[in-house]
Amino acid sequence: MEFEELQQIWDSQNNRPLYAINEEALHKRIESKKNQVRHITNISELLLIIVNIGSGSLILGMNFSGQIFMYLLAAWMFVTALYVLISRIKRIKGNNRFDRSMRGDLTQAISVATYQVRLSQLMRWNIIPIGTLILLGVWDGGKSVWVAVGLVVFFAIAYLAGGWEHSIYKSKKRELEILQDKLEKEN
Amino acid sequence: MTEKEQQHIFETWLGQYKALIFKIVRAYAYTSMDQDDLFQEIIIQVWHSIPAFRKESSVITWLYRVSLNTAIKWTRKERKHYQDETLDNVQHILQESKSIDERLTWLYEEIYKLDEIDRSITLLLLDGFSYKEMSAILGITESNVGVKINRVKKLLITKSKKYDYHGI
Per-domain residue ranges of chain B: 1-96, 99-168
Lowest mean pLDDT among A171-180, B26-35, B157-166: B157-166
Per-block mean pLDDT, blocks of 10 residues, chain A (187 long): 85 76 75 84 92 90 80 92 94 80 78 90 91 88 82 87 88 80 63
pLDDT at B57: 85
pLDDT above 70: residue B167: no
A-proximal residues of B, 65-124, CB under 8 Å: 91-97, 99-101, 103-104, 107
Q: Which CATH architecture has domain B99-168?
A: Orthogonal Bundle (1.10)
A105 within some domain = yes
pLDDT at B85: 43
pLDDT at A145: 82
pLDDT at B168: 46
**Which residues, including other chains, have CB under 8 Å from residue A173's CB and lie 6 or more apart?**
A110, A113, A114, A116, A117
Q: Between B134 and A143, whose confidence is greater?
A: B134
A96 within some domain = yes
DSSP 3-state percent helix, strand, coil across chain A (nearest 5): 85, 0, 10
Tell me the per-residue pLDDT of B80-90, one tens digit each, with 9 for 90 and over: 555 544 444 55
Mean pLDDT over the full length of chain B = 83
pLDDT at B86: 47
Tell me the per-residue pLDDT of B71-111, one tens digit each, with 9 for 90 and over: 998 888 765 555 544 444 556 777 777 777 788 888 999 99
CB B100, CB B130: distance < 8 Å: no
* Gap from B23 CA to chain A (nearest CA, Å): 7
Question: SS in 3 state form for A87-135?
Answer: HHHHHHHHHHHCCCCHHHHHHHHHHHHHHHHHHHHHHHHHHHHHHHHHH
Whole-Å CA distances, A84 to A73, B1, B32, B135: 17, 35, 42, 55
pLDDT at B135: 92
A63 within some domain = yes
Print the domain residue range for A45.
24-186
CB B100, CB A13: distance < 8 Å: yes
- pTM for this structure? 0.60
Helix axes A3-11, B102-113, angle to 10 degrees: 110
User: A21–B93: do the CB atoms touch at under 8 Å?
Assistant: yes
* Gap from A140 CA to chain B (nearest CA, Å): 49
pLDDT at B79: 56
Tell me how many degrees the CA angle A114-A120-A121 measures, rounded to the nearest 5.
90
Closest residue of chain B to A26, computed from CA coordinates: B93
**What total of structural domains would you count in chain A?**
1
A6 within some domain = no
pLDDT at B103: 87
B99: which chain A residues are within 8 Å (Cβ-Cβ)?
16
- Looking at B29-166, list the stretches that DSSP marks H as alpha helix, in order from N- to C-terminal side: 32-49, 59-77, 102-113, 116-126, 131-138, 142-165
pLDDT above 60: residue B12: yes
* Domain B1-96 annotated CATH 1.10.760.10: no
pLDDT above 80: residue B2: no
Number of C-beta neighbours around residue B61 at 10 A: 16
CB A174, CB B50: distance < 8 Å: no
Tell me the range of A95-104, B14-23, B127-136 where mean pLDDT is highest: B127-136
Tell me the per-residue pLDDT of B143-156, one tens digit each, with 9 for 90 and over: 999 999 999 999 99
From the list A2, A20, A179, which residue is nearest B95 (CB)? A20
User: A28–B91: do the CB atoms touch at under 8 Å?
Assistant: yes
> Which value does ipTM take for this structure?
0.78
